[in-house]
Structure formats: structure tokens, C-alpha cells
Amino acid sequence: MMKSYLAAAIQMTSKPDLAKNLLEAEELIELAVHQGAELIGLPENFAFLGKDHEKQAQAAEIATATEKFLKTMAQRFQVTILGGGYPTPVDHEPTKAYNTALLVAPDGSELVRYHKVHLFDVNIPDENTYQESATVMAGTEIAKVYHSEQLGNIGISICYDVRFPELYRHLAKEGAEILFIPAAFTAYTGKDHWQTLLQARAIENTCYVIAPAQTGNHYERRYTHGHAMIIDPWGNILADAGKQPGVAIAEIKPQRLKKVRAQMPSLQHRVFNL
């Protein structure tokens, strides 16, 4: 039976500097562990946040270093870690990389690997062009839910996915109780949509949401919204990292999950099982 435990959503201001980012990620993981966290999520682009073509050019190097890092951290601190989005090379398409999230067990083994499905090709008036599909290969499959007796059942997504409720409904149908939504949400859209979307995904699926985030200025005019959060199945915000790099920590309680799902059994009342 799943037990109560502490989860952490890490917030970073990643730069176009792999070594520096991994060092900062390590410090924040250590901070979370010292506060008792057993499940830790890192945001999208935690290992490298720079221009798309720079990221693409270094994809193989970033992927190798990042995967080694995640496995080392999980083993060293004996925790389960989600690396919430980093580039991994695509064999048949050398000009593109997947945007990959990796869930790693305390023994360093790979639990779930997910390639981001929905790519951020959006024009917003913040002086940046977002054309993720120019350098990223879209994944084609929803991540399998990781079923854990200790931590509960974990579903994984990345950033822009949050706008597609059918993905989360599928994860919920597959038994998800905790939804990871690591992100590098733009400051422009984040101020209006981030919290609302996260709460909606938690409420409609009666799941905990763990949403690690990027914050602040990364390079030139690229700003992200911050507010890494953990939200309970009723939509209550349990922890919010605000605007500074740091950690949002909250308790994941199986009794709370059970109670909310008994009070509001909407998952059992679905009519259109699309």
C-alpha cells in the first residue's frame, strides 16, 4: 500500500551551460533530500536552456551527461527522480532530438522514458519565436504509468502537454494518482494560464500534480514564469516555489487521495469513454 511521503518540485534558472546547470540541479536535489523528499522532479530543460540550434548541436553530449547524472543522483540519495525534459538524439533524423523525460529508481534503473508528444509551435507577443518542431522530433506514445506500491502510480508529461486534457485522462484511466508536469513555461502565458491549467488537471483527474518549473531570465529575452507547484487532488496548492530558484515540497497522502476520490467520484461517472 502506498504510504505518505514528501515529494519535491525543483525550480531552476537553467542557462546555456550544461556543467553549471547540473551542478545547480545537484545542489537543489540535495536540498530536497535533506528536507525529506523521496520523489523529486526536475524541470524541463534543466540540463540546458539555450537557443534551439545550440541545444540540438549538443544533444548527444547533453543526453549522455544528463542520464549519467540522473542515475548517479538517484543512487547517491536513494530517491526516485524525474528528469523533466532534455534532448536525446534521434537515430534516423540527425537534425532533430526528442524532448525526453526520464524517471529513475533509487537503484539507478530506468523506470519510464517519455518523448514529449505535443510540440510548442506558438506565436506569443514576447519577442521570441517558439518553433519547437524545427529541432525536436515529436514522440508518438503516451508514457506508460509507473505503478509503485511505495509512491503510488505516476504519470508523466512535459510542459505544453498540459493544454491537452485527453492525455491526462488517458493516464488517469491507466491508474495514475500522481501527474508530473515539468515545464519551462513562458512568462507571458504562465501568468495567465499556468496555475489554472495545473489545478484543472488535478481536479478533473482527482490526482496529485507535481510541476517542477523554470524561472527568470535564461538568455537574451527568454523569460520563464516560475511557480513550481505541488497540487492536491482537490486542486489545493500545497507548495509554490514563487519566483526564485528553489524547491516546492509537500506531502503526498494516500488517505487524501482516497477521500477526494470517494467524495468526487467523477472518474467513475464518465459517459464518453473516448
Among residues 24, 44, 67, 177, the one annotated as catalytic is 44
Q: HEC string of the chain?
A: CCCCEEEEEEEECCCCCHHHHHHHHHHHHHHHHHCCEEEEEECCCCCCCCCHHHHHHCHHHHHHHHHHHHHHHHHHHCCEEEEEEEEEECCCCCCCEEEEEEEECCCCCEEEEEECCCCCEECCCCCCCEEHHHCEECCCCCCCCEEECCCEEEEECCHHHHHCHHHHHHHHHCCCCEEECCECCEHHHHHHHHHHHHHHHHHHHCCEEEECEEEEEEECCEEEECCCEEECCCCCEEEECCCCCEEEEEEECHHHHHHHHHHCCHHHHCCCCC
15 is annotated as an active-site residue:
no
Distance, CA of 182 to CA of 202 (rounded, Å): 14
Residue 148 resides in a domain:
yes
What residues make up the domain containing 190? 5-269
Q: Is residue 55 part of a domain?
A: yes
Q: Residue 121 and residue 143: Cα distance in Å, rounded?
A: 21
Assigned domain for 194 exists: yes
Residue 40 domain-assigned (yes or no): yes
| Alpha-carbon distances of 75 from 106, 107, 109, rounded to whole Å | 5, 5, 9
Q: Looking at the 3D structure of the chain, how many domains does it have?
A: 1
Residue with cell 537557443: 51
User: Has residue 88 been placed in a domain?
Assistant: yes
- Identify whether 274 is part of a domain: no
pLDDT of the chain, 274 residues: tens digit per residue: 689 999 999 999 999 999 999 999 999 999 999 999 999 999 999 999 999 889 999 999 999 999 999 999 999 999 999 999 999 999 889 899 999 999 999 999 999 999 999 999 999 888 788 899 999 999 999 999 999 999 999 999 999 999 999 999 999 999 999 999 999 999 999 999 999 999 999 999 999 999 999 999 999 899 999 999 999 999 999 999 999 999 999 999 999 999 999 999 999 999 987 6
Contact 249, 230 (CB under 8 A): yes
**Overall pTM surpassing 0.75 (yes/no):** yes
CATH number at 265 reads 3.60.110.10
Selecting among 159, 177, 207, 253, the annotated active-site residue is 159
Q: Which residue has the cell 504519470?
A: 155
Domain annotation covers residue 63: yes
Is residue 119, in this structure, part of any structural domain at all?
yes
Rounded Cα distance between 11 and 242, Å, is 9
207 is catalytic: no
Q: Is 159 a catalytic residue?
A: yes
- Active-site entry in 38, 55, 71, 116: 116
Q: Which of 166, 144, 164, 140 is nearest to 155 (CA)?
A: 144
